[in-house]
Structure 1
Amino acid sequence: MNTDLDTTIRYLTGDQVDELSRGLPIVDLVRDTLLAFRRGTAGLTPEAALRWTTPMGDSARSLILPGWSGTGYGCKIINSSLGNHERGITRAAGLIVLADPETAHPSCVMEGARISALRTAGVSLAAVQAARRLTSVTSVAFLGCGRQARAHLQLLMAECPGLERVLLYDRDPAAREELAAECREAAPAVDVRGVEQARQAVAGAGLVIAATTTTESYVELDWLHEGGTFVNVSLDDASEGLLTGCDHLFVDDWELVSGDDHRLLGRLAGSGRVTGPGSTPPAGSRAVDAELPALVAGEYTRPIEARDRVVINPFGMGVHDIALADVIHARAVAGGVGTRLPR
């Protein structure tokens, strides 16, 4: 019997995860994971979802997303309640649990919300880079000014040297102005404006990031100007007209998207209004043009013209969380960071 095996679990707090993630090439890591998924050297299994109504009447859920990338194995647990904003706390919180690839014992538990926000932003930018090129982005609008918007802005500032204008919309004026002040401080040369209407934000930018908590779609096709790109991060902002009428529609994983009837695109899949990549849709319907692994790999051959409207609908693949968490765990081990917990 080998008595030298580590029998502790390393725990990393949110602040430690934040520090360990600094300087990581998030977009490159996400792109590499999408390519690994395409090759079959990374993968995921069906997620599990527990949904309930809180005692205060709010919609709540707990998602468990298992995945693996290279020698990293684990699962993401992400929970949220739509009433958290009224309580003055973040909508979502979670954990990532990594397993030792040899023994399968839990090896690390870390706060997961920071990683979730980073990888989500990384997926958005990797997809935009594959469809439009980040160097072409001069204006961006945000619908929602919370944690996801901040993570996206952080990467956009680093990856888009031509960025000139940022438009911010949020139903909460205070959240909008707070993010605007942070953005102006971080990038004084960028024109940052808060706007009163969602349509005003969408119409004023070439790239739109929807990161809200809505469960009702509202962004119509004619809101997005020709040549615009809409990233449907929060999944329910884009209307049926925008999803079915755009020139190019991309998803990260069709099986995940089509299997979730809580989201509009999943319901459209269930009704036959939208079909999977490579399919021939019935009259009056449309097919998804490609999944992101194929798009990033350069396998999407239909030209994306300058005046085309593009919609990117990233459902969320747990494999990205595991890949990023695995890199952060390796940094923690090398630096002796974290609390060692007995099993």
Structure 2
Amino acid sequence: MFEFSVIGGKAAREIIGRNRPRIVEQVRETYLTHEAGASVNPDSYFLRFPEKPDARIIALPAFLGGGQEVAGIKWISSFPANIEQGIPRASAALLLNDYATGYPYAVLEASQISAARTAASAVLAAEVLSGGRRAERVVVVGAGIIARNILEFFRAREWEFGSVQVHDQLPQYGEALAEYTAVELGWEAEFAAELAPVLKGADLVVFATTAGEPYVTAPDSFAPGQLVLNISLRDIAPELVLGSYNVLDDVEHCMKANTSPHLAEQLTGNRDFVTGTLAQVINGDAVVGDDKPVIFSPFGLGVLDLAVGRFVHQEAQQSGQAVEIADFFGETKRW
């Protein structure tokens, strides 16, 4: 009951790296558990700073049932200015609590956890919504850690890509991810300086940026049958959302904070444009077609962090990579 362990980012990444296909399945089961109502996923809480309007630290508390029986909270910061110093934008910690007693039993460096659950949900959505594991032309917008993780998960799930084009406002990062994709992942890849031309004709588009408001606004930006993974949530104009099939991870969570779906709701005053959740598509309760673009918009659920974090914790204990903290609790008896 009173054991407590710490799992660092290096260990977490090593565990994730050898278990990516299993993590995708963990995410799939978690979505279904959440859809079935066996979870508690409150709204995220945002800590903002008057003198740093683009920075924030977010608290994501959650409980996951369905045989997992774990509670916890992720505390994740997003400081975009970090990029100017050549360091990652996001950093995070995840605390896991025992459901029987409420006692915390582990803390994990969670930027790896967060990136993994985000990437796994993106790849799962691509498989479910496309019905396969092949895309002739792929465009990745944003060349940060999340984009790299998404491509790593695609590779781990044995996707076949004809070519990958990477666009980023900072060419050095776009070129770096393109080189990584070609050398480490084995797909033909190149940097694309202009976004609009490469969007046309792409089978699969992945948005993984830090954009705060839509910049993809041209009416013909997307084509019927094109699959768009709207991971960063704010790149796409609401008018484009309204002309597409829209699959979300959780409708209530997505309809806030001026995400593209939220802007579409504000524009129309309704949610009629929502096709359903990814779990509903998996269960056959929602269907997409090829007569319009298909956009997947995941707000990012705390229950996914719990599922992946619990998995990494178990693997770390089995492999000896968890660092046990003796006497973490100062009192273990009431009297």
TM-score, normalized by length of structure 2? 0.90
> 1:14 aligns to what?
9
Establish whether residue 33 from structure 1 lines up as the match of residue 14 from structure 2. Answer: no
Where in structure 2 are the equivalents of 1:224-235 lying within 5 Å?
224-235=222-233
Cα RMSD for the two superposed structures: 1.8
> 1:59 aligns to what?
54
Q: Distance in 2 between matches of 1:234 and 1:53?
A: 23
Shift of 1:160: 4.6
Where in structure 2 are the equivalents of 1:233-312 lying within 5 Å?
233-246=231-244, 248-258=245-255, 260-269=256-265, 271=266, 273=268, 275-276=270-271, 286-300=272-286, 302-305=287-290, 307-312=291-296
Q: Distance in 2 between matches of 1:168 and 1:22?
A: 22
Instruction: Name the amino acid aligned to 1:256.
Output: H
Q: Mind listing any 5+ residue stretches in structure 2 that lack a counterpart?
A: 330-335
**1:157–1:163: 8 Å Cα contact kept in structure 2?**
no
> 2:302 aligns to what?
318
CA 1:303/1:232 → structure 2, altered by over 3 Å: closer, same or farther? closer
SS at match of 1:223: coil
Q: Distance in 1 between matches of 2:40 and 2:285?
A: 19
> 1:281 aligns to what?
none
SS at match of 2:257: coil
Could you report, residue by residue, the CA deviation over 1:16-72 in whole angstroms, capped at 9, with x for unpaired residues?
111122332222111111111122233312221111144xx4521111111222212
Q: Distance in 1 between matches of 2:116 and 2:267?
A: 33
> 2:85 aligns to what?
87
SS at match of 1:226: coil
CA 1:46/1:180 → structure 2, altered by over 3 Å: closer, same or farther? same
SS at match of 2:160: coil
> 1:196 aligns to what?
193
CA 1:274/1:181 → structure 2, altered by over 3 Å: closer, same or farther? farther
**2:239–2:264: 8 Å Cα contact kept in structure 1?**
no
Where in structure 2 are the equivalents of 1:95-106 lying within 5 Å?
95-106=93-104
> 2:73 aligns to what?
75
Q: Distance in 2 between matches of 1:225 and 1:303?
A: 14
Instruction: Name the amino acid aligned to 1:235.
Output: L
Shift of 1:275: 3.0
TM-score, normalized by length of structure 1? 0.88
Identify which of 119, 122, 127 aligns with 1:121: 119
> 1:148 aligns to what?
146
CA 1:274/1:210 → structure 2, altered by over 3 Å: closer, same or farther? farther
How many positions carry a matched residue from both structures? 321
**2:74–2:110: 8 Å Cα contact kept in structure 1?**
yes
**2:248–2:298: 8 Å Cα contact kept in structure 1?**
yes
**2:74–2:302: 8 Å Cα contact kept in structure 1?**
yes
Task: Work out the percentage of aligned pairs sharing the same amino acid.
Answer: 27
Shift of 1:164: 1.1
Name the stretch that deviates more: 175-184 or 213-222: 213-222
Where in structure 2 are the equivalents of 1:157-236 lying within 5 Å?
157-188=155-186, 190-220=187-217, 221-236=219-234
